[in-house]
Amino acid sequence: MSATAAPTSAAPTAERASPLVVGVVVWLASELMFFGGLFAAWFVLKANNEPNWPPAGEELDVARMAVFTVVLVSSSFTAHRAVVCAEQGNKVASIRWLALTVLMGLAFLVNEALEWSGLDFGFSSSAFSTIFYLLTGFHGAHVLAGLFLMTIGAWVVFSRGSRAPQGEGMKVTSYYWHFVDVVWAILFLIVYVLQ
Domains annotated on the chain, with CATH: 19-44+62-194 (1.20.120.80)
**Residue 54 contacts residue 128 (beta carbons within 8 Å):** yes
The terminus-to-terminus CA distance of the chain in angstroms comes to 81
For 171, residues 6+ apart whose C-beta sits below 8 A from its C-beta are: 21, 83, 86, 87
pLDDT in tens, 93-120: 988 999 999 999 999 999 999 999 999 9
**Contact of 134 with 144, CB cutoff 8 Å:** no
Type and span of the H or E element at 177? helix 166-187
pLDDT value at 130 more than 80? yes
